[in-house]
Amino acid sequence: MSGKVLVVGFGPGSFEHITERAKKAIQESDMIIGYKTYVELISGLLGDQQIISTGMTEEVSRAQEAVKQAEQGKTIAVISSGDSGVYGMAGLVYEVLVEKGWKPTDGIKVEVVPGISAINSCASLLGAPVMHDSCTISLSDHLTPWELIAKRLDAAAQADFVIALYNPKSGRRTRQIMEAQRILLNYRSPDTPVGLVKSAYRDRQEIVKTTLADMLQHDIGMLTTVVIGNSSTFMYEDLMITPRGYQRKYTLNQTTQPLKPHQRLKKEAEPWALDQDVEIKSSRRWAEEALQAASGEAASTIVQQQVETIFEVAVSPGVVEKKFTPTQLATLAAIAGEKGSIEYTTDHYMKLSIPTLSPHEITEKLEAEGFLLFPVGSVVTVKACDFCEGEKDSSIPQVQQLQQLLGGMDVPKELKIGFNGCAMACYGAVNEDIGIVFRRGKFDLFLGAKTVGRTAHPGQPVAEGISQEEIVEMVTGIVHEYKEQGHANESFYKFFKRVGAVGGFIHRDVTPKIKLEPVPCGDD
């Protein structure tokens, strides 16, 4: 039985600006998935639905979880503020489905529920600034190269669009809005009206009317939408107004118009229109130009956006091997180049981040040098000791099998499997999500370590004396159980605690019983 994903845009956040279809979509859903702040904004519409709320930068996991739950027959609402198809979750949900080979005819159903986007809600508070041709540009360069954003700003400024800037500034991104102002001042008057609207139609709403020259003197943040007028936008009685162009044909202060209705669309009434200054070409002339283009005599400029991604990959000399050769290190440095980075991690691998158009070429070079490669992010990482530099090698086949079966597997949140080849457990396997210790020819198993926080603790010892034939199958089953039943961004520690049992092992609370002063973030 296939389910349904409802990608819901709920508008600016006030209850009265949520569409009736959006309200019904939320109420008819079995599960709500969204950014924490957005879930709080629609709390008045929620009933007994299951809620999965995650933080910033967790959009992919939210989309993946929605698809996963819908495939189990549920109706899932993925919520976005504004319109879900404008910098919202709609496109990402479709992208996740495309990667899975989804077909609309026989796959899960998808409905995109539109909402009021920020350009519309903010414009209504400013007056009527978006009465003519306009565009939206996000200044966030987390996913789009700044060079491309700058080109779009330049083109929009030249074309005299009214421009709405989304995501103009954050704690880390402070230069982008300054660069945007610099580009716009190349084409716009310093006195161009600008509206700054923060948290439109929410409790902390703030509205500022200013100019292009002075806009940076005011507070601008992630919740601000910056609306920049075009060359005809003006201020009147603290209202920002962009004329539609009616004054070209109409006399706005008279009730009797010089042009009658039947005259208003005639050519002589529109001397600025395209067909007033276009050469009427014969069919022969069209054919000649087509032949010129085909032969290369006439060249045209086609804009093609090069999709350069930041390719991230975990690089290790091997699941058991801990030493990089000089040649391997030189290869890493050469591949990273000036624009890439090599990050040391505590998980027995280097994280390589490289801007590239051809990720497969990089992986080919790394594999040719004998590197073990696996993805980073919400995947399984197998962390083994060095087996006393190979002297205690009896359990190496088992860790290699685990790496082959589970290494790099997608899971709700990064899962680390610690593996120690002797009872000394000197590499700290018991402090990982799943800990495996080889002792006297058999294995001990630990589950659900709390790996971070001031109440961090080792995993719960759940079994001793597991045979070499059983351990790989047992751990594989536990990981698959977590993969299928875990919520998006839910750690294995929290999953084990929530479900109460995994792999047949009952959860016991082994948190240290100590009193700690609460921290501001509310996390232990």
In the prediction, which pLDDT does 416 show? Answer: 96
For the cut 80, the answer to whether the pLDDT of residue 304 exceeds it is: no
To the nearest whole number, what is the mean pLDDT of the chain?
Answer: 88
Radius of gyration of the chain (CA): 30
* Residue 503: per-residue pLDDT: 94
**Residues 151, 477: Cα–Cα separation, whole Å:** 51
pLDDT-derived band at 302 (thresholds 50, 70, 90) equals low
Residues near 388 by beta carbon (within 8 Å), at least 6 away in sequence: 421, 422
Amino acid at 505: F
Q: Identify the pLDDT of residue 259.
A: 54
The string of pLDDT tens digits covering residues 18-52 is 999 999 999 999 999 999 889 988 888 898 899 98
pLDDT for position 266: 62
The answer on pLDDT for 437 being more than 80 is yes
Q: Within 10 A of 414 (CB to CB), how many other CB atoms are there?
A: 17
d(CA 164, CA 152): 12
Mean pLDDT calculated for residue range 337-342: 90
What is the reported pLDDT for 208?
A: 96
Q: Assess whether pLDDT exceeds 90 at residue 357.
A: no
How would you classify the pairing of strands 50-54 and 31-35?
parallel
**pLDDT tops 60 at residue 264:** no
Task: Give residue 377's pLDDT band: very low, low, confident or very high (50, 70, 90).
Answer: confident
Q: Write down the pLDDT at residue 145.
A: 86
**pLDDT tens readout for residues 452-509:** 888 899 999 999 999 999 999 999 999 999 999 998 889 999 999 999 999 999 999 9
- Give the pLDDT mean for 295-313: 65
Q: Is 12 exposed, middle or buried (0-12, 13-18, 19+ CB in 10 A)?
A: buried
Banded pLDDT at 190 (limits 50, 70, 90): very high
Q: CA nearest 141: which of 187, 97, 107, 174? A: 174
Question: Which residue in 393, 446, 391 sits closest to 416, CA to CA?
Answer: 446
Question: Would you call 404 exposed, middle or buried from its count of C-beta atoms within 10 A (0-12, 13-18, 19+)?
Answer: exposed
What local confidence, expressed as pLDDT, does residue 270 receive? Answer: 58
Q: Among residues 74, 9, 89, 84, which one has the least CA distance to residue 41?
A: 9
Q: Which residues contact 98 (CB under 8 A, 6 or more apart)?
A: none
- The per-residue pLDDT for 30 is 95
Contact 202, 208 (CB under 8 A): no
Across the range 274-296, mean pLDDT stands at: 61
Q: What is the pLDDT of residues 63-96, one digit of tens each?
A: 999 999 999 999 999 999 999 999 999 999 999 9
| Structure-token pair, residue 408 | 């790099």
Q: Mean pLDDT, to the nearest integer, of 145-149?
A: 90
* Residues facing 68 on adjacent strands: none
Distance, in Å, from the CA atom of 265 to the CA atom of 134, rounded to the nearest integer, reads 24
Question: Does position 522 have pLDDT exceeding 60, yes or no?
Answer: no
Confidence class of residue 291 from pLDDT cuts 50, 70 and 90?
A: low
Mean pLDDT of 380-390: 92
Predicted confidence (pLDDT) at residue 300 exceeds the cutoff of 60: no
Give the confidence band of 258 by pLDDT, cuts at 50, 70, 90.
low
pLDDT score recorded for residue 283? 60
